[in-house]
Chain A
Amino acid sequence: MNSQVKLMKNNTSVWQKFGPLFALILLFAIITVLNPSFLTPLNIMNLLRQISINALIAFGMTFIILTGGIDLSVGSILALSSALMAGMMVSGMDPILAIIVGVLLGTIMGVINGLLITKGKMAPFIATLASMTIFRGLTLVYTEGKPITGLGDSLGFQLLGRGYFFGIPVPAVTMILAFFMLWFLLHKTAFGRKTYAIGGNEKASRISGIKVDRVKIMIYGLAGTAAALAGAILTSRLNSAQPTAGQSYEMDAIAAVVLGGTSLSGGKGRMFGTLIGVLIIGTLNNGLNLLGVSSFYQQVVKGIVIIVAVLLDRKKSA
């Protein structure tokens, strides 16, 4: 009887873990059949670079959604920290130092979200909706609505968005490193356990002696950091800071997390799922482009894929 139990458990968890992966493989297969140039090393490297920004944001978003929260401000954090970095570079600061300071500023913006939510007792949706407009507004004020250019040609700065590391784009390397670090944090540490617990039952977690507020603030800070890091990569890629950068990025990130099987009500989900979710969205964008589908239709297709994925997920758990 015991082995039977194990088997059953494994079956469900295999399906739950790898369901999105099967979907991704299927998507790969379909696009490759329709256009063989999809599955070339060059395009795959392209794909990895394209998804890295959404991936970083989505990794942070995973933690937030696992606690039952949401962060709408990540796109604005990306833009504001990118503008601040660029500003510092233009004013003569060492580019690498400017990036580090800019990323830390992103952390602070995330922490502000966390404080509003925990100490201000605001709903995450409302708090981050407000901070989204505030950070965006500040970006526009700071940049006066114009791109910041002339960021110099420091090698380190250029590599961040445009370089290659043994043939792999540096943004992709950054993404992979971030994935492993955050995977470890979520699945192997007490901090990760607490993240799940808060989403599962916040009251019970609090009574179990978990410092819920502190964990939440750290998680929003983490998401801010990830968004700012994505901002740094984008700044390097474009060799400029754009005031409208990162708009609606929060939606792609949320979509990736949900596609990866994480429940919006919190408590359930995995880092690996989010990575697959990011890959699915990136593959759709990249593949539909290759197939010459108009960007208008691309949006429709993306929406439909999300609905189908969530419906399938529902069936599975029933």
Chain B
Amino acid sequence: MKIEMHNIYKAFGPNEVLKGVDFNLEPNEIHALMGENGAGKSTLMNILTGLHKQDQGSIVINGQETLFKDSLDAEQCGLAFIRQELNIWPEMTVLENLFLGRELVNRYGVLKTKEMKTRAAEVFSKLDISLPFDKEAGLCSVGEQQMIEIAKALMTDAEVIIMDEPTAALTDREIEKLFKVMKDLTRKGVSLVYISHRMEEIFAICDRITVMRDGITVDTKAIKDTNFDQVVKKMVGRDLEDRFPQREASLGGNVLEVVGLTSGGLFKDIHFTVRSGEILGVSGLMGAGRTEIMRALFGMDTVDSGEVRVDGKKVSINNPAEAVSAGFAFITENRKEEGLILDFSIRDNIGLANLESFAPKGLVKVNDEKKFVEMMVKRLNVKTVSTETIVGQLSGGNQQKIVIAKWIGTSPKVLIMDEPTRGIDVGAKREIYELMNELTNRGMAIIMVSSELPEIIGMSDRVLVVHEGKITGELMKQEATQEKIMALATGGN
């Protein structure tokens, strides 16, 4: 399928998001779409697939001007869209999610469960997913949910598949599988639009790249005719310094000691410490139990045994409220479900975790709150019209910044960040890394769970590796290499 989008304009109210975008997709290519958070990538694809209608401009498909009525219409014409924000029905099973709205039925309208299972099994084996079909989707990790979405798109036999940051929640092994499947698809004549903030991926797999900035197309080029620095420069409009800022940690005493934390089948005998001013990286494969350990620390799940000490004193944490008063903050990996109230404004969301400081006697001091929120929004460079904007209307990356802003304000002793830069563009990533440096300089301890090895290696003072619910290794900054971490993460051999 050949797609030409020409001179596309789109505004949401006063917010002009697309200001004359051109985008061409050729058959059998993987086309990267890059740009900073809020550049308009998702919006452009939403227009292509009929969710939004452009204010101006034309979409020509195979030589014919086309306008899809809605997403379903686009899907039936062979365009599948794996959205940035997952569309999972948490109460339904994996299988039900896979076939939602396009169930296979016999002519009496009865579900053909066996056939659906066979088809799903095919796709799952292609992607190397091992998930029970009858598992409740809400109980799956974000990564697993992402794989469900990918499988769902693959089953539609689409000619064009748009992937909006599909790998943000995946680990290297799954990404590898996904890339293999993508290559196979192009050989069968499928073309792919690939949106990602991970440079390595773009250069590993894409054929062409289009860079957007502030709602216009800056350039479209063959991948082999460009390079990393050029792309970054086009994205941010200026030269960017190194990806990771210089880090000079000045470590203090132990802030957190975790002793023998154990929880059923999830993790066992977890021991570690974090010092003030330190960034402790936690690495491991998806499902290794990293997130589960953090959830337990934060009182979201119960543990069978073990002890947690903050500043040398034993604390008992049975719920997040107690964790917060013990000095913890938790940026969860699942911002839509657990991090934000999507229908509420930026101010309400950031204010929520900080109510104690804005309302010391129960009465909310709105002016203090406004000042603080504005400061945070500026500090993190959130792209928004105002602090009263509904969070659900922000671009994915900017939503992530709001989650971070929300917690930093509480000045915790221990900040747990689970995939802190997921879905964040290179420029903003660097801002977040700088912020982490600043926070640790002030004595905060940070635990950073991340599936991005460069990030773990670039930012951690020390790395813990988790494999199947156990800590299999601890590496100091000097000794932490990609190979060593991967070896420990896969069981160490």
Interface residues of A (CB under 8 A from B): 1-2, 4-5, 8-9, 188-194, 196-197, 200-201, 203-211, 267-268
**B63 is an interface residue with CB less than 8 A from chain A:** no
Q: Is the CB of B406 within 8 A of A208?
A: yes
Partner of B342, one of A192, A201, A206: A201
Contact mask for chain B residues 326-370; partner A; CB cutoff 8 A; 1 contact, 0 none: 000010100001111111100010011101101100111000000
Q: Is the CB of B348 within 8 A of A193?
A: yes
Q: Is the CB of A190 within 8 A of B359?
A: yes
B333 to nearest A CB, angstroms? 12
**Most chain B beta-carbon neighbours within 10 Å: one of A188, A204, A206:** A204
Q: Is the CB of A189 within 8 A of B364?
A: yes
**B50 is an interface residue with CB less than 8 A from chain A:** no
A197 to nearest B CB, angstroms? 5
Partner of A189, one of B337, B342, B362: B362
With contact pairs A4-B14, A196-B344, A267-B343 given, residues A189 and B319 touching in the complex (Cβ less than 8 Å): no
**B13 is an interface residue with CB less than 8 A from chain A:** yes
**B324 is an interface residue with CB less than 8 A from chain A:** yes
Q: Is the CB of A197 within 8 A of B341?
A: yes
Partner of A204, one of B13, B339, B356: B339
Number of residues of chain B lying within 8 A (CB) of chain A: 36
Q: In the complex, what distance in Å separates the CA atom of A291 from the CA atom of B385? A: 51
Residues of A within 8 A of B14 (CB): 1, 4-5, 8
Q: Which residue of B lies closest to A190 (CB)?
A: B359
Q: Is the CB of A208 within 8 A of B352?
A: yes
Partner of B388, one of A4, A9, A206: A9
Partner of A190, one of B330, B348, B362: B362
Q: In the complex, what distance in Å separates the CA atom of A200 from the CA atom of B352? A: 12
A92 to nearest B CB, angstroms? 39
Q: Is the interface of A mostly helix, strand, loop or mixed?
A: helix
Q: Is the CB of A206 within 8 A of B320?
A: yes
A210 to nearest B CB, angstroms? 7
Q: In the complex, what distance in Å separates the CA atom of A209 from the CA atom of B298? A: 10
Q: In the complex, what distance in Å separates the CA atom of A291 from the CA atom of B263? A: 69
**B323 is an interface residue with CB less than 8 A from chain A:** yes
Q: In the complex, what distance in Å separates the CA atom of A22 from the CA atom of B362? A: 33
**B300 is an interface residue with CB less than 8 A from chain A:** yes
Residues of A within 8 A of B385 (CB): 5
Q: Which residue of B lies closest to A6 (CB)?
A: B386
**B375 is an interface residue with CB less than 8 A from chain A:** no
**B181 is an interface residue with CB less than 8 A from chain A:** no
Q: In the complex, what distance in Å separates the CA atom of A32 from the CA atom of B66? A: 56
Q: In the complex, what distance in Å separates the CA atom of A4 from the CA atom of B16? A: 13
Q: Is the CB of A204 within 8 A of B348?
A: no
Residues of B within 8 A of A201 (CB): 337, 340-342
Partner of B319, one of A9, A197, A206: A206
Q: Which 8 A/B pairs are nearest by Cβ-Cβ distance?
A: A209-B324, A190-B359, A200-B341, A201-B341, A190-B355, A208-B353, A211-B321, A208-B352
Partner of B321, one of A2, A210, A267: A210
Q: Is the CB of A200 within 8 A of B338?
A: no
Q: In the complex, what distance in Å separates the CA atom of A204 from the CA atom of B358? A: 19
Q: Is the CB of A267 within 8 A of B344?
A: yes
Q: Which residue of A lies closest to B386 (CB)?
A: A5
New A-B pairs, 16, CB < 8 Å, besides A201-B337, A209-B324: A8-B14, A190-B359, A190-B362, A190-B363, A191-B362, A193-B355, A196-B344, A196-B348, A197-B341, A200-B341, A203-B338, A207-B300, A208-B324, A209-B320, A210-B321, A267-B344
Q: Which residue of A lies closest to B340 (CB)?
A: A204
Q: In the complex, what distance in Å separates the CA atom of A188 from the CA atom of B342? A: 22
Interface residues of B in 362-411 (CB under 8 A from A): 362-364, 385-386, 388, 406, 410
5 interchain pairs (CB within 8 A)?
Answer: A193-B355, A197-B341, A206-B300, A206-B320, A208-B324
A265 to nearest B CB, angstroms? 10
Q: In the complex, what distance in Å separates the CA atom of A196 from the CA atom of B341? A: 10
Q: Is the CB of B323 within 8 A of A209?
A: yes
Residues of A within 8 A of B325 (CB): 209
Q: In the complex, what distance in Å separates the CA atom of A192 from the CA atom of B362? A: 9
A14 to nearest B CB, angstroms? 15
Q: In the complex, what distance in Å separates the CA atom of A201 from the CA atom of B342? A: 8
Residues of A within 8 A of B320 (CB): 206-209
Q: In the complex, what distance in Å separates the CA atom of A268 from the CA atom of B390? A: 13
B232 to nearest A CB, angstroms? 29
Partner of A188, one of B353, B364, B410: B364
**Most chain A beta-carbon neighbours within 10 Å: one of B298, B332, B355:** B355
Residues of B within 8 A of A203 (CB): 337-338
Q: Which residue of B lies closest to A213 (CB)?
A: B319
Residues of B within 8 A of A204 (CB): 337-341, 352
Q: In the complex, what distance in Å separates the CA atom of A8 from the CA atom of B355? A: 29
Partner of A209, one of B337, B338, B340, B353: B353
Residues of B within 8 A of A268 (CB): 343
Q: Which residue of B lies closest to A185 (CB)?
A: B362
Q: In the complex, what distance in Å separates the CA atom of A194 from the CA atom of B362? A: 11
Q: Is the CB of B339 within 8 A of A207?
A: yes
Q: In the complex, what distance in Å separates the CA atom of A160 from the CA atom of B38? A: 59
Q: In the complex, what distance in Å separates the CA atom of A208 from the CA atom of B406? A: 9
Q: In the complex, what distance in Å separates the CA atom of A18 from the CA atom of B63? A: 51
Residues of A within 8 A of B359 (CB): 189-190, 193
